[in-house]
Each structure stands twice: as C-alpha cells, then as structure tokens.
Amino acid sequence: MNKKDPLFISTMDKAKKLDREKFNIYMTIQDYVLQHCDDDLKANVMLSHAIDELKEHNISPSNLKTYYRHLEKDFPIKREMKEELHRSLNNMSVSLIWCTMSSFIVLMFIKEVVMQHYLIHLYVDSAIAIVAFYIMLHQIHIQLNILNMNKMTKRPLIVMLVAIIAGVIVNIVAGLSNNGLAKFDFSFLILVVGMLTSRSIFMKQAQK
C-alpha cells in the first residue's frame, strides 16, 4: 500500500459529504489517527466510524487520545478489516475470471480474422467479440478501481494486461503459420497463468 497517501478513496469520498464544521473536526481526528496508526486499513476503518459518528451526533472530542481508544475498542475493527480484505479479494477474483473469459473470446476472434475462418459468420462473430471486448474493458476498469481504493500498486493489473497482449501475439503468429500450430490455442493457458499470477500478487499486497 502507498504509505505516502494512506487514505482510501472511499474514505475521502465519505468525508467530503460532511458539512464544513464537521469536516474540520474530522480533519483533526484524521490527522491524529494517521499519526498513531501504522496500518492503513485499520486507520481507514476507524476513520469511517468517526465519519458516521459525526453524521449522527454533534461530537467534538476534546481529548483525541481518548477518542482514538474509543474508535479502537468500541467497534469491531479487526473483524471489519478481515471482512474488507475478504470482500476486495472476492471482487478482484471474480473480475479476473470475467476478464480472462472475455479476453479469450476476443483473442479467438483475432485468430479467426487472421485465418479467415469463422465459427459462425463474420458478422455474428464480430458482434460477440465486440460485446466480449466491452466486458473485458469494464473488468479492467473494475480492477483498477479496486487497486486504487485499497491504495495498492498496479502490478496485478499490469500482469493481466501483459498476458492479454502476449495472447494476441501468440494467436496472430499461430493464425499466420501454415503448420499444425494453428490447431492449438495457447492463449487461454497464457490468460489463466496471468489471472492466477495477478490474484497471487493482489493477495500478497493485501496482507502487507
């Protein structure tokens, strides 16, 4: 996670909805929490509860140390941290699966175009490929949002993009070849390896 900017986008967006007076109080709480909490996820969960309390009550903690302990002890912070990580991992895993499947359909179409041999018809296959391409781009956007929200590096996304590009190259080469290589499709294997590697990198970053 990026230690230079530990706040999650969701936390910042939530804080922006406070009125000016409560936002100023929140900023004081935020500065104290970030100074005394080394865990980014824990800090964001605590700040989320602080925002909720500011919305519901006119609080203005005079003793920030006491209020910090209140946030730490009076809310199930550890459980919520586990739930948040589990939710992000599930969302990332589902998105990677959708991205892999839709990318494979696009790569199959590219190979069909190169070989001038279509499963059904050029127009039908084109329509399917366009839909798959849209799904692929949408899933890439979802993955980018998940990484940004959790302040993680873009390595998982980069690995997936490299796998897609490698699959494109392999399918073009296979489609242009006149030997038996065209009968085999290695692009799906490349995409699966990319998906599993991306998920593994994401899990390692989430556990830091």
What percent helix, strand, coil does the chain show, rounded to 5? 80, 0, 20
Calpha distance 136→201 (Å, rounded): 20
- In eight-state DSSP terms, residue 58 is -
* Mean pLDDT of the 166-171 span: 92
- Asked if residue 142 lies in contact with residue 96, where contact means CB atoms within 8 angstroms, the answer is no
d(CA 2, CA 43): 13
pTM of the model: 0.72
> What is the pLDDT of the chain when averaged over all its residues?
87
Tokens of 61: 């903690």
Residue 154's nearest CA partner among 44, 1, 31 is 1
Residue boundaries of the structural domains of the chain? 9-75, 81-206
Dump pLDDT digits (tens) for 100-126: 999 999 999 998 888 888 888 888 999
* pLDDT on residue 181: 60
